[in-house]
Structure formats: structure tokens, C-alpha cells
Chain A
Amino acid sequence: MIANTEASVVFDKVSLALGGREILHAISFAIGKSEFVGLLGANGAGKTTLLRAMLGVLPIAAGRIEVLGENSRMGNPAIGYMPQARSSLAGSRLRGWDIVASTVGGERLGLPLQGADVRRKVDRALGLVEATDLARRPFADLSGGEKQRVLLAQALVDEPRLLLLDEPLLNLDPGQQRNVVELVKHLRDELALPVIFSSHELNPLLGAIDRVLYLGHGAAAIGPVDEVITAPILSKLYDAPIEVHKVNGRIFVTSGDIEVEREAHRHDDGHEHDHSHAGHGHV
């Protein structure tokens, strides 16, 4: 057992399975108190699965996950979570403010009343991401980047001590991607929160993240970008010969003549989406 008081998240020989199929096998790592970690890996590598296990939504097949000093459990209010963007929410005529407010005590019984306590929490969270004005408009009318800003506020509304963000850069243009990454880094600095940020692409995260957690073929590698994004480690994680090229401060990962990340990105909508639903008995 790892007893690490300096860690916010500890994975101790954790195996995770979906519908009987093992996704991650006996992975171990620890994340620091206010570390910004980029969670990378191909589609189906288990990024969403890993986040869902931390949230206690997916049962652990083997091993132990410690989150903020206690075993992972469902409904932990100390975790702020931003799921992958949903198309159903994207068209909502509700104002961003009301969508954020629906999160506050949303699991309780009763009517969705917005008392002083709810209003204070929502206004605070929106203030943190500078989305106070955006949130007055119908959610459907916001741009992709603006929507992510509001959803980030939703993750912050219960004053979490750990932030799990699932693919916040999906379907954003490069400018919006940069803004979201900068905003998350700013939040981490301001609130001293550990952040786990999953992404298909490494480049938008370069310069912002402290370490990268790379998943592939049931295994995980964690460390600074320079140590993990290397041909030997990625070749192992992809189970294929991988080359790493650095051009003008950007990193390109290729297998043969295919650029791995771009290839992964192209399959966004089908595969990873299936994973996010697997817990409801889909598989």
C-alpha cells in the first residue's frame, strides 16, 4: 500500500474492466496536491473509464484508488467533474446560469428552487471562470469555447478539492482550445487544485501541464512530457513502433506514416462515447 500524504490521488495496482473486458491492468501512480496532469491515450485506452473509477461510478476490478485521503466512493462532493460535452445539452434553451444551478444539490428530493445559497454558489463559480455575463444567455447560443467555460463553472460549483475534466477540448478550434487550457491552468494556480485533464491531443496542453499520464494497452506511464512522450515508452503503450518528432515546440507522434493523435481524433464521436455509457449496462 502506498501511504502518501502529499498525494491527492493514488492508484495502487488498479485494474478496471468494462463488461468483463479488462481495460487497465494493475496500474499504479500518485498525483500531487496541486498538480495539473494531462490524461492522454488513444480511443478506448480507458481515459473516461479511469475518471469514472475515481468518481466511484465504475467498480474497481482489483486494487485500490485513494482520492483526497479516502477510498474512491460515489457522490464524493470534493470532486469537481466535467463530463464529455453532450449534444443534448448543447441545444438547450436554458440559460447557462440555470444549468449550473441544477447541479447544486441536484441529487436531492424536492423542487428545483434557487435559494440564496444556490445563487451565491453559482455566482461564485461563474465568477471564477469569468462567465457571469455568458451565463445569462441561452446555452444553445454560446460558442463551443463559451459552453466549456460554463460547464467548467458547473464543475467548480461545490468548491471541489480535485478537478476531473473529460475531454474539454473536444470539437473546439485551436484558439478556443488555448483559452480553455489557459483558464484551467489559471484555476489550478488560483485555487491550488489538482487537475486531471483528459485529451486526445497533447500539443494544446504543452507548457501548461506538470506531468502527463499516458494510457495504452492496459498500461499507464506517468511523468514529465519529455520522459513519457518518447519512442520506447509510446511504442510499448501503442504496441506498435512509434516515432516522436519535435517541431517548433510541438510534438508529433507517428506510427509508420500515420499521425497517431490525429487518427484518434477522427473517431471521436463513436468510440469514446460508447465508453461513457458503458456503466449503464450497455456493453
Chain B
Amino acid sequence: MMGTNMITAMQAMAMFDYDFMRLAFLAAALVSVIAGPVGYFLVLRGQTFAGHALAHVGFAGATGAVLLGLPPVAGLLALTLAAGFGMGMFGEKLASRDVAIGLVLAASLGLGLLFLHFFTTSATQATALLFGNILAITSAGLITLAVISAVCLLVLLLISKRLLFASLQPELAAAKGVKLKQVGIIFMLLVALATAACSQILGVLLVFALMVGPGATALRFSLSPMKGMILAALLALGESWGGLMLAYATDWPVSFWITALSLLAYFAVILFEAIGFQDERA
């Protein structure tokens, strides 16, 4: 038994012999530390759909950039930021227009498909954009992620107290002089950045797993907001690193494992709560 454990541990350590694995672990960490806390606020504000929507819009940006001979991440960032700003500006009015939003999302993916059609017939590129390919992260890509992460964390460091107040009690915050629209726009720009970073590893279709899963799970623990944000980041880190390890062990796609772990973590907490609640009653 002992021997088997030793071998598994050594085999596990061997994954760090590969450059792409080291890069992947670093990329996952950079994305997780922002996806967790930003997602925490997305859930708190009831805007989880926004994260999903921004990623779809980003797909058109990424493929459009490829068509123009630019790096996909540049187009992705440009379009998610623009859409994030628009959502922040018109957020309250857009919120009830679910049909309009749904159609815009579908059209964004459609537009992305069209761009791909003009550029290449390769399905690999499309698959990577849609479902992520963390193992293909380059050191240049890592630097981009590091910059996005640093900007996000800095902004969060500055506004999270005000954002929390504005999210929980908007009328009260407005009475204290908080500019709700300004806070809303800054937050949506944060979501745009985090979504763009997240789609680098999970693909535009799966960002929900890392953007929303850890935040939603962390909120179930009823911790203080500061601890909740930290827990969300740790959960995101656990899920993305866990996904990488399991992918290494099974040779199944990393994105599959991350989405599965995200779902498991959320359901585990819900189940635990249900059992705990029954105990309390008994």
C-alpha cells in the first residue's frame, strides 16, 4: 500500500517536468484568484448571467481578431470590455429583456462562427475557443493573464467595500452618496476582465463553472464577505488545479474536470446543508 502511494506521488510530481503543465498550473492560479471573488459578487448581485453573456460576446471578438491577424485575446478583451460597459450603463433596463439578451448571445456565437468560416476550416481553433485549452497556454499568454489578474485584484482592493454596500443595500448606499451606476459599470468591467481571463483556460462556453461555481459555493457558508471572497478564490484554485491533476491522471480534457469539480463542490454544500438542517430539527 505504502509503495503504491509513493509511486503515485512520484508520478504526480512528474507532471511538473513538463513546461506546459507548469504554465497551466500558473495560469489556473492567476485566473482563480480573480474568478473566485468576482464570481462571489456576481452571485451576491444576482448577475450571474452577465458572466455567461460576456463570454459569448467575447467569442465573436476572439474570432474577429483572428480574422484581422490579431491575437484572439485582444479581440476577446475588447469585446467583453465594451459589452461589460454597455451592461453597466443599461444594466437595470437590460435585466428584464431576457429574449433580447438571448438573441444577442446566439448572434454573437453565430458571428464568431462566420469569422472562423472565413479564416480557417480548422475545428481545433474553434474547439479551443469554445471549450478552452489550458495546456496550450504560452508564456506570453501567461503574462497577459498576470496583467489582467493584477488589474482586477487592484480594482477589487479599492472598491470591494463600496461594491458590497451597493450590492446589498442600493437605496441605503445611494443615500450615503454612493454612485450606483458608476459602481455598477466598474464592476461589469471587472467581470469582463475576469471572464476574458477565464475563457483562456475554460473556453467561452464553460466560464460559468469557474466564474460562478466557486462564488456561489462560498456564499452558502454564510461567512463574512472578506472570508467568503477568499474562500471563493481558494475553491476556484482547488477546482482548477484539481481539474489539471485529474486530467493528467485520466487523459480526459481539463475543462471537463474543472466543470465537474465545480458542480460537485456546489452540490456537496447543498447536500451538506440539507443534512445539517435535518439534524438541527431532530
Contacts and interface: CB of A to CB of B under 8 A. Distances in A.
A28 interface: no
Contacts of A56: 175
Interface centre among B158, B171, B178 (most CB of A within 10 A): B171
Contact of B175 (A75, A92, A110, A282): A75
B171 A103 contact: no
B275 interface: no
Contacts of B224: 95, 98, 101, 112, 114
A279 B174 contact: yes
Interface in A211-236: none
B168 A83 contact: no
Contacts of B220: 93
A108 interface: yes
A135 to B, nearest CB: 11
A109 B173 CA distance: 13
B180 to A, nearest CB: 7
The 6 closest A-B pairs by CB, nearest first: A106-B165, A75-B177, A83-B171, A55-B175, A107-B176, A112-B161
Contacts of B168: 89, 92, 94, 99, 102
B222 interface: yes
Main secondary structure of the interface of B (DSSP, over half): helix
B22 interface: no
A108 B162 contact: yes
A167 B157 CA distance: 35
A277 interface: yes
27 contacts: A56-B175, A75-B177, A79-B175, A81-B175, A83-B172, A89-B168, A93-B222, A94-B228, A95-B222, A102-B225, A105-B161, A106-B164, A106-B176, A107-B165, A107-B173, A107-B177, A107-B178, A108-B162, A109-B161, A110-B160, A110-B161, A111-B160, A111-B226, A112-B161, A112-B164, A277-B92, A282-B92
Interface of A: 52, 55-57, 74-75, 77, 79, 81, 83-84, 86, 88-89, 92-95, 98-99, 101-103, 105-114, 138, 154, 276-277, 279-280, 282
B46 interface: yes
B226 A114 contact: yes
A79 to B, nearest CB: 7
B71 to A, nearest CB: 33
Given A107-B173, A111-B157, A280 B162 contact: no
A154 B161 contact: no
Contact of A110 (B44, B157, B178, B222): B157
Interface residues of B, number: 33
Contacts of B159: 109
Contact of A88 (B46, B92, B158, B180): B46
B219 interface: yes
B4 interface: no
Contacts of B44: 92, 94
B281 to A, nearest CB: 13
A239 to B, nearest CB: 30
Contacts of B171: 57, 81, 83-84, 86, 276
B48 to A, nearest CB: 13
B197 to A, nearest CB: 21
A21 to B, nearest CB: 20
Contacts of A94: 44, 168, 219, 222, 225, 228
B124 interface: no
Contact of A81 (B92, B172, B181): B172
B278 interface: no
Given A81-B172, A113-B226, 6 more contacts: A75-B175, A89-B168, A92-B168, A95-B222, A98-B225, A103-B169
Interface centre among A56, A81, A101, A279 (most CB of B within 10 A): A81
B176 A75 contact: yes
Interface centre among B157, B175, B181 (most CB of A within 10 A): B175
A280 B165 CA distance: 17
Nearest to A137: B222
Interface string B171-191: 111111110110000000000
A279 B178 CA distance: 13
Contacts of B169: 83, 86, 89, 99, 102-103, 106, 154
A84 B169 CA distance: 10
A107 B162 contact: yes
Nearest to A110: B161
A81 B177 CA distance: 13
B164 A57 contact: no
B222 A103 contact: no
A109 to B, nearest CB: 5
A253 to B, nearest CB: 29
A105 B222 CA distance: 21
A140 to B, nearest CB: 9
B158 A109 contact: yes
A138 B174 CA distance: 25
A99 B168 CA distance: 7
